[in-house]
């Protein structure tokens, strides 16, 4: 789901998480892809200790949506070097994207045990919040207490996310407002505040929040998507259609926006 894809997954290694291309590959393109895979495997065979090459191969399979292959390579790398936290971070991210929350949590916990980077704590705290685990609040407080992390905004957001998922919308909204006061460009806080208002049936108020968000960042695809949802609830079909189209203009692979648009058109 689109909403679940935003979490604070910062990879500090050379692996760079690029978008998939869903167009059908041509025969020459398929040949080039096969050559790329073969070349990466050949390079790794020659330089088995190169983490950079391993990460590139993991990313190659990740881009293809071949998570089993990406995870198998990650697991092999971990067997060779079990104390590299970045590999556990990569494994956690792959599990999360593959909708395996339990193993994502275990892997992030292992990464933190090895090296408690604030980025890993943010990622784990976010998943805890989404799964209604009160450990999210503990990690958020740890981030606030770690001056060097400079992650007060993210910590407050994790708390807001926890209360949003556990149903305390009033407390969640207050925390998201605190995030926005700290950083008015923080789109996640706008979105979650709007969702909290939406869940309470306050569609007009949610629209005001989202309108401000897309004014600050006019390519905020999720903002337009939730605007479409609000307009739909208010029986404003044309406005909803326009909002979904705008979301797809900025992210052509926004599945929820495309599905919502189909129900109206």
Q: What tens digit of pLDDT does each residue of 129-142 get? A: 999 999 999 999 98
The answer to whether 265 and 228 have CB atoms below 8 angstroms apart is no
Which range, of 45-49, 69-73, 89-93, 166-170, averages the lowest pLDDT? 45-49
Delimit the domains of the chain by residue range.
34-115, 128-176, 184-265
Architecture per CATH, 184-265: Alpha Horseshoe (1.25)
Q: State the pLDDT at residue 34.
A: 76
Instruction: Please answer whether residues 109 and 97 qualify as being in contact, where contact means their C-beta atoms are separated by less than 8 angstroms.
Output: no
Task: State mean pLDDT over 135-164.
Answer: 89
Share of the chain above pLDDT 70, in %: 86
The predicted model scores a pTM of 0.80
Q: Do domains 34-115 and 184-265 have the same CATH topology?
A: yes
The CATH classification number of 34-115 equals 1.25.40.10
Contacts 24+ apart (CB under 8 A), 197-206: 197/169, 197/173, 198/226, 198/229, 198/230, 198/233, 199/169, 200/169, 201/233, 203/230, 203/233, 203/234, 204/230, 204/234, 206/230
What tokens were used for 186? 């923080």
Residue 212 pLDDT class (50, 70, 90 cuts) = very high
pLDDT at 146 over 90: no
- More confident: 63 or 235: 235
């Amino acid at each position: 789901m689109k909403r679940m894809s935003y979490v604070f997954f910062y990879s500090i290694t050379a692996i760079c998480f690029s978008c998939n291309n869903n167009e059908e590959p041509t025969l020459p393109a398929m040949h080039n892809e096969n050559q790329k895979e073969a070349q990466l495997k050949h390079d790794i065979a020659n330089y088995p200790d190169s983490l950079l090459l391993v990460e590139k191969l993991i990313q190659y399979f990740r881009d293809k949506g071949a998570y089993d292959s990406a995870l198998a390579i990650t697991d092999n790398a971990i067997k060779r070097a079990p104390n590299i936290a970045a590999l556990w971070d990569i494994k956690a991210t792959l599990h999360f994207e593959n909708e395996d929350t339990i193993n994502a949590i275990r892997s992030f916990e292992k990464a933190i045990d090895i090296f408690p980077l604030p980025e890993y704590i943010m990622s784990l705290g976010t998943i805890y919040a989404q799964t209604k685990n009160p450990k999210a609040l503990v990690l958020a407080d740890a981030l606030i207490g770690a001056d060097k992390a400079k992650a007060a905004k993210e910590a407050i957001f994790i708390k807001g996310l926890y209360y949003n998922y556990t149903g305390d919308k009033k407390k969640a909204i207050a925390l998201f407002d605190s995030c926005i006061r700290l950083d008015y460009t923080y789109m996640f806080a706008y979105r979650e505040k709007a969702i909290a208002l939406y869940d309470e049936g306050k569609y007009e108020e949610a629209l005001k929040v989202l309108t401000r968000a897309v004014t600050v960042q006019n390519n905020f695809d999720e903002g337009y998507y939730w605007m479409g949802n609000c307009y739909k609830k208010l029986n404003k079909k044309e406005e909803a259609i326009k909002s979904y189209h705008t979301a797809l203009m900025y992210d052509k692979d926004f599945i929820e926006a495309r599905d919502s648009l189909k129900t109206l058109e």
